[in-house]
Amino acid sequence: MQERSDMQGFAKTMRMVAALAALACATQLLWQRFSYGDTPQANETSEKFVQPSDDGSAPHGSRILSGATLELRGEATIEGADVKLKQICRWSAADQEAFAPIADLVVARLSGSTAFRAMTQDDLKSTLSDAGVNLAIIRFSGAMHCTVSRSDITTDEHAALQDWVNAKMAVGPATQPAAEATLISSASTRPVQAIDPLAKSYHTLRERLIADLSERLSLDPNSLEMHFSPGDERVLGLSEPLFQFDLEGLRVHNIGDVSWQVTIFAAGAKASSQKTTIAAVARVWQEQLMVRRPMAYHQTIRAEDLDSRRTLVNQLDGETLMKREQVVGQLCSRELQAGTVLTARLVDAAPLAKTGDLVTVTLSQGNVEITTVVRAMDGGSFGQSIRGKQETTGAIFDVTLTGPKCGAISPEPSPQTASANVINN
């Protein structure tokens, strides 16, 4: 009886050892499957991606275990609605064997007439994970998002641009200034005044266009009123630094109807761009000086003869407008009717000295001022330089007229004086 009891105990021990050995083998097999990126529920795609070949070798094993690099492109152009992995990603020749089984995996679809779509790295990772690919053994690099465009869809310029902008804005940086990233409602048609370019670090497309026109026409940007098409309002609200703009003037030689061809670059990448044409109607506010009453030829203009008004004009006629301080004391170059706007060609400079007049001149050097009288050898008006001769010494000076029969001279003698001194010596 004792011998039979010992045999039963030995059999139980052996069965326990066999069970432990089976459990150890199963654990080892599961560990090997997990190390290759597979799971007991892995689908066919992942099995192709990680399973060794029939001869026992691992065609992707060593490369996958060390990590393969998948680079996301910044831009991709496709035909058809299906977006495949090989179209938006690239990899090195060393990783070709690892990614070949999933190269044709459809990672997204563009529905209907959608011409653009943005796909981020997170979208790609989620799709690959759903397909059963082990992400732990893949190193992702390249762009943070890819803008996919279809070449087999024909859309009008504005619709294509809007789709492209929407795709870019969907993945834009969160650090874009909120005030500049806000897009103006397309229902707004009110004219928007320009902002001083030095007052901000980043500018919207609208501000860039206004600054460009003001620079070309030498106008104050705050005096311009620009009316754009309501359909362009969303594009005009695009702001730096998420977008960069290259402006080419098509019709910007005057105010009125103006237009530009604008190239928009996304996130500073020159390879990612779209072109569009922006048109507007430009007008400018002017401070105009006009005569209050009829004036005769060569009549002296007085302050009480003038009125001023602020006017919004549709065209620039090329005439230089005069300011009040520029015309008071000057002469009319022709007969003027009441309400005539004064321009440079309607005003003649009043002569402050005529040939033969005695002119009081002042010579200043440091803290010393010397006043003398010279006889004018030429006639001139305010700010002009004439020759003046000092009759007692015969010296000739260059005199700058500063008032009626008044002027100033520089310490250096005129060339005529220097020549006379040489001859006398």
- pLDDT tens for 8-34 read 676 777 777 777 777 776 666 665 555
Within a domain: 2: no
Mark whether 264 and 300 lie in a shared domain: no
Cis omega (within 30 of 0) for bond into 241 = yes
pLDDT for position 79: 81
Mark whether 123 and 172 lie in a shared domain: no
pTM of the model: 0.48
No. of H helices and E strands in the chain?
12, 22
CATH of the domain at 413: 2.30.30.760
Q: Which residue, of 150, 169, 194, is where some domain finishes?
A: 150
Within a domain: 188: yes
Select the highest-mean-pLDDT range: 247-251, 271-275, 419-423.
247-251
Within a domain: 5: no
Mark whether 161 and 239 lie in a shared domain: yes
Q: How large a percentage of the chain has pLDDT more than 70?
A: 70
Q: Which residue, of 313, 348, 383, is where some domain finishes?
A: 348
Mark whether 49 and 135 lie in a shared domain: yes
Within a domain: 1: no
Within a domain: 36: no
CATH of the domain at 303: 3.90.1210.10
Mark whether 117 and 176 lie in a shared domain: no
Domain count for the chain: 4
Q: Does residue 283 carry a pLDDT above 80?
A: yes
Sign of the torsion formed by the C-alpha atoms of 103, 109, 114 and 120: negative
What average pLDDT score do residues 243-252 get?
86
Residue 315 domain boundaries:
285-348
Q: Count Cβ atoms below 10 Å from residue 359 Cβ, excluding itself.
A: 25
Within a domain: 19: no
Q: Which residue, of 298, 314, 348, is where some domain finishes?
A: 348
List all residues 6 or more positions away from 55 whose beta carbon is below 8 Å from its beta carbon: none
Q: Does residue 272 carry a pLDDT above 70?
A: no
Within a domain: 257: yes
Mark whether 161 and 263 lie in a shared domain: yes
